[in-house]
């Protein structure tokens, strides 16, 4: 069992937790993730390791409540426990000196990119970070972004913070005026595809951190399989990072919808029964 030591609400649906998991905290590197299970019969979900405090045995996760498991996780309190917390999983980011690195992150990718840019910065790369969010509320972890970037642009869809528009407009302008050595992107799949469509035309090396559906995290179940240069790879053991040039995007996008109808059924049940989380008896029942 793994204790939730701290819990913070970053905005209405995004929460951050520090979990006591000394083995993971000691061994985790930027770009890796954990697979957790809330209770004995719960589903396993992958979440990026958003930071660690190895001396305290703590691992930080940041998640958005979008379905059954993330909503249940968000209902847990400091001091409560989760059943399984497996990691670190996946290949860490290759950290090296590229020169000028542009990091493009949207949605939950904002939390996921922080450990990566922090390591790139330690290698004396010049980091330009481009952040995209729906609105001001979803610009999370701003001080950590600022600390780890040499130059930073914020964009929001509604213009409530930073530049009104998308990360792609800002990236285009950066490409026009700067020599860029590598682009690293993480976030919603359509955003990552748009980034790679743009950068590949300009021959800029682009690394994407993919987030396909995962179950076991060991390369056995096949749910996270990706077609890379016409070879089957598994994001859980060969990734989650891949060279954008090698990805069959249409396949990656369509596979994300594999369990959409079942996910909707589970989430509808949770929403209906919880309305929401005030019914502690119900929460206890579903967690047991």
Q: Where does this chain bind ligand FES (CB under 6 A)? A: 214-217, 219-224, 234, 236
Task: Identify the residue among 9, 66, 250, 253 touching ligand FAD (CB under 6 A).
Answer: 66
Distance of CA 121 to the CA centre of its chain: 19
Query: Whole-number minimum distance, CB 199 to ligand FAD, in Å?
Result: 21
Longest dimension (CA), the chain: 58
Q: Which residue's CB atom is positioned nearest to ligand FAD?
A: 67
β-partners of residue 57 are none
52 binding ligand FAD? (CB under 6 A): no
In sequence order, the 6+-apart residues with CB closer than 8 A to the CB of 156 are: 132, 133, 134, 135, 136, 138, 139, 162, 163, 164
Among 10, 21, 45, 103, binds ligand FAD (CB under 6 A): 45
Is 211 a binding residue for ligand FAD by CB under 6 A? The answer is yes
Interface with ligand FAD includes 24 (CB under 6 A)? no
Token pair in block for residue 39? 């209770």
Q: Which of 15, 20, 30, 48 binds ligand FAD (CB under 6 A)?
A: 48
Burial of residue 259, with CB atoms counted within 10 A of its CB: 0-12 exposed, 13-18 middle, 19 or more buried: middle
- Interacting positions 92-111 with ligand FAD (CB under 6 A): 108, 111
Distance CA 225, CA 231 (A): 10
Strands (E), 56-98: 58-64, 81-82, 84-89
17 versus 226: smaller Cβ distance to ligand FES: 226
Binding site for ligand FAD (CB under 6 A): 33, 45-48, 62-64, 66-70, 108, 111-112, 211-214, 240, 256, 260, 263, 266-267
């Amino acid at each position: 069992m793994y204790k939730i030591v701290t819990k913070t609400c970053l905005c209405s649906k995004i929460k951050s937790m520090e979990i006591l998991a000394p083995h993971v905290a000691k061994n985790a590197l930027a770009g890796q993730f954990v697979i957790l299970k809330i209770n004995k019969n719960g589903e396993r979900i992958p979440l990026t390791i958003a930071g660690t405090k190895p001396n305290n045995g703590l691992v930080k996760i940041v998640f958005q409540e979008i379905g059954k498991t993330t909503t249940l996780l968000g209902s847990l309190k400091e001091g409560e426990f989760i059943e399984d917390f497996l990691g670190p999983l996946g290949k860490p980011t290759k950290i090296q000196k590229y020169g000028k690195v542009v990091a493009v992150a949207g949605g939950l990718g904002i939390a996921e990119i922080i450990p990566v840019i922090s390591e790139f910065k330690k290698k004396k790369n010049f980091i330009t970070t481009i952040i995209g969010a729906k609105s001001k509320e979803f610009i999370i972890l701003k001080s950590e972004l600022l600390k780890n970037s040499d130059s930073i642009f914020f964009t929001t869809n509604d213009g409530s913070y930073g530049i009104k528009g998308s990360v792609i407009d800002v990236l285009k302008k950066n490409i026009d005026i700067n020599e860029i050595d590598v682009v690293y992107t993480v976030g919603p799949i359509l955003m990552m595809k748009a980034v790679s469509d743009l950068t590949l035309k300009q021959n800029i090396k682009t690394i994407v951190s993919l987030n396909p559906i995962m179950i076991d995290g060991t390369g056995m179940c096949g749910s996270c399989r990706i077609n890379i240069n016409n070879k089957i790879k598994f994001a859980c053991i060969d990734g989650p990072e891949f060279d954008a040039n090698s990805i069959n995007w249409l396949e990656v996008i369509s596979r994300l919808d594999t369990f959409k109808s079942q996910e909707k059924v589970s989430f509808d049940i949770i929403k209906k029964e919880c309305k929401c989380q005030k019914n502690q008896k119900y929460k206890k029942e579903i967690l047991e």
